[in-house]
Amino acid sequence: MEKDDLSLLAGMREKERKKLNSKGIFTITQLSFTFRPRRHPKRFKEKREKYHHSLKAFAIREKKIHIVGRPELQIEGTPVYLDVEGLPDRDFYYLIGMRVRNGDSVMQHSPWADEQEDEESIWKEFLRILSGIPNPALICYGRYETTFIRTMFGRYGELSQDSPIKNALSSPINLLTFIYGRVYFPVPSNGLKEIAGYYGFRWSNPVASGAHAIVWREMWEASGNMQEKEKLICYNAEDCEALYVVAQKVLNLQCRQPGAEVANENDIVDINKLKREHLFGFKRNNFIIPGLDIINKAAYWDYQRERVYLKTNRAMKRSLTKSPKPSKALAPNKIIDCQRPNACPKCHSTKFYPNAKLSKTAIDLKLTRHGIKRFIVRYLYKQYLCRNCGKTFLTDAKCLPPSNYGYDLMAYSLYQGIELRLPMQIVETSLNRLFGLNITVGTATRIKQNAAKSYEKTSNDILAKLCNGSLLHADETKISVRGADWFVWIFANMEEVAYICTETREGGHVQTLLKDFRGVLVSDFYAAYDGINCRQQKCLIHLIRDINDALYKHPYDEGLKRMAEGFTNVMRPIIETVDRFGLKHYFLKKHLSSVDRYYQKLSRFGLTTEIAIKIKERLEKNRDKLFTFLEYDGIPWNNNNAEHAVKPFAMLRHIIKGITSGNGLRDYLILLSICETCKYKGLDFLDFLRSGEKDIDAYAIRRRKK
């Protein structure tokens, strides 16, 4: 192409083109470098991939066909390639082109209407020809032909249900639907002329197009020149032939095998086999000569250590082949001999005797002011047999620990996994290495699961307190759970934080949760929050940033600039008052009049640009939610509390995303809610876990009394 402008890409809207221009992308070549191959998620396997202009630009730059997935074109029966010519302004169809291919024979039919009254006759002729074809399958390109069939049925009646051609007419094959979003040809548009031209097909009249066909028809009607009519019939027949060429190529693409009929196997690229380039990561070299690849693999560290150095260095051979040492039993720091029970738990007889000696070891840590050390307690107890009833029973369960791991060890494990955001496998490795333990894989995860069950009521109490308070900050963010997108909702005030998760971003769950909330809800502009029946304060930081971005993108929009300056003049005195007196209604209420004056001026602004009108509508729509903080004490004008609470989860998400399950995520969120609430209240999360307390407020009171 001589020209490389984005306007050449058919289907790209002006709004999208302007957005790319604002990023410095003006040409197809520039756009092509923004394409990044991505793996199609399994959960969207049945969902069709959307159309990517960047991939179309990439195909044009590479001059290769790029395939996304696999086109599922199936033609059962005798293919009939259909192309219709008409005059849209008169709603008149005058030429029906049909190319019938049966084996090696090809037949072209071109029913023609001289007058609009002849339209019904060519429709009937079309039906007659179609009825003579065994098991016909209509193939068209675009919606014009499908619209034509529906229109003809509406004008001249439907076919009977037992008609042999009823099925072909009710479900024609639109070839464009199998190409769009699946096959990217290295041409600017998905037009039939461009794609057929890529395969070498040429029209006898190079300038022929749909617009020219309308002109030729008008010229024929005005002059009756048969040359114009022949030109139209020839153009229509060549369209049918081009449709046949493209259909065959698409069929070849989807069943592509070695030796299949394609122009060049190297000109076809499967997107699923493209690897995304990571500029700053490690990657393997691709060698053109296979022998170089074999030589390169021989230099890998593992290969040399296990195959080369092993044969060269005896010391290394001993270190690599040395069998692992068997784990030793941990020596106890303390031994507790459990007391003999008073009576048989079944018959209450005192006549019983020990018949087996047992022991249980509890692994714990001792946290002191200056360090941490391992502490092992061994419990010695016996199994007893009752002489009276024959029941076998053990020592009183109260004497034995409920778990093999002590409170401090479990608290330390949770502290590392939740507050320090270490992967559970790393937590286990750390405990084993630093304290000489033999903790098995999965132990830290089980500790987390048990702790989440134990502290679930604590987390629910935090959430209930938030929902019954006078102020609530809300935000949401996304996380990948086993390949599916889940959403985590964050609720916070000045002292508590709670996290919950849902499988979708729909607001039904949150609206149900907050149906009885009667305080002030501070949030962003997500529409789900609008369905909550309470006073609301929208985050003005979001609004200010959006206005600032609009000013950057439209620096010469005077209406937008005037509107932004007016909003700034309203906000600056308010912020000065907040800095001086805090969030107190007594001092803030004086600014309500300046807000009213600004909105009166806003209604008189003569704005013409799309972006300015959009921001004005946003200001007017949310008028009752932008300055609510002026009417109450202690209501912030931004959503920083919730956004600050998002950060700990974002760091945790970096560790657990993709690998965690839904239940695992809920366990993490229960413990993270407690961890962050402790921080907001000035408490230490590790100390709270070690205390065994389940009520954070009760623990805080007890700490203050000390």
Q: Which two tokens stand for residue 310?
A: 């092993």
The lowest-confidence range among 183-187, 203-207, 268-272, 538-542 is: 268-272
- Burial (0-12, 13-18, 19+ Cβ within 10 Å), 329: exposed
What is residue 261's predicted lDDT score, i.e. its pLDDT? 43
One-letter amino acid for residue 406 of the chain: G
User: Do 479 and 488 meet the contact criterion of CB atoms below 8 Å apart?
Assistant: yes
Average pLDDT over residues 380-395: 90
What is residue 281's predicted lDDT score, i.e. its pLDDT? 57
What is residue 233's predicted lDDT score, i.e. its pLDDT? 93
| Domain architecture of the chain: domains with CATH | 6-70+265-273 (no CATH), 78-182+192-254 (3.30.420), 290-321 (no CATH), 334-449 (no CATH), 450-538+639-706 (3.30.420), 540-634 (no CATH)
Residue 551 parent element (H or E) = helix 540-553
Confidence of residue 23 (pLDDT cuts 50, 70, 90): confident
Q: Which two tokens stand for residue 443?
A: 């132990």
User: Do 618 and 469 meet the contact criterion of CB atoms below 8 Å apart?
Assistant: no
Exposure string of 451-485, with b = 16+ CB inside 10 Å and e = fewer, is bbeebeebbebbbebbbebebbbbbbeebebeeee
pLDDT tens string 252-275: 887 654 334 444 556 788 887 776
Q: Which two tokens stand for residue 607?
A: 């704005």
What is residue 258's predicted lDDT score, i.e. its pLDDT? 39
Q: Which two tokens stand for residue 354?
A: 């020990």
What is residue 268's predicted lDDT score, i.e. its pLDDT? 86
pLDDT tens string 419-475: 999 999 999 999 999 998 888 999 999 999 999 999 999 999 999 999 999 999 999
pTM of the predicted protein model: 0.74
Residue 386 parent element (H or E) = strand 372-386
CA distances from 179 to 72, 102, 189 (A): 10, 24, 11
Residue 341's CB is within 10 A of a number of other CB atoms, namely 17
d(CA 120, CA 126) in angstroms, rounded, equals 10
What is residue 50's predicted lDDT score, i.e. its pLDDT? 83
The SS3 assignment for 661 reads coil
User: Helices 119-131 and 144-156 meet at what angle, rounded to 10?
Assistant: 110
CA distances from 583 to 205, 497, 633, 661 (A): 76, 21, 6, 42
Residue-averaged pLDDT of the chain: 88
**Identity of the highest mean pLDDT range in 13-27, 153-167, 669-683:** 669-683
Which is more confident, 424 or 224? 424
d(CA 169, CA 419) in angstroms, rounded, equals 65
**DSSP code for 139:** E
Average pLDDT over residues 672-696: 95
User: Do 563 and 605 meet the contact criterion of CB atoms below 8 Å apart?
Assistant: yes
User: Do 528 and 507 meet the contact criterion of CB atoms below 8 Å apart?
Assistant: yes
Which is more confident, 301 or 27? 27
What is residue 262's predicted lDDT score, i.e. its pLDDT? 44
Q: Which two tokens stand for residue 266?
A: 């190297």
pLDDT tens string 547-567: 999 999 888 899 999 999 999
One-letter amino acid for residue 28 of the chain: I
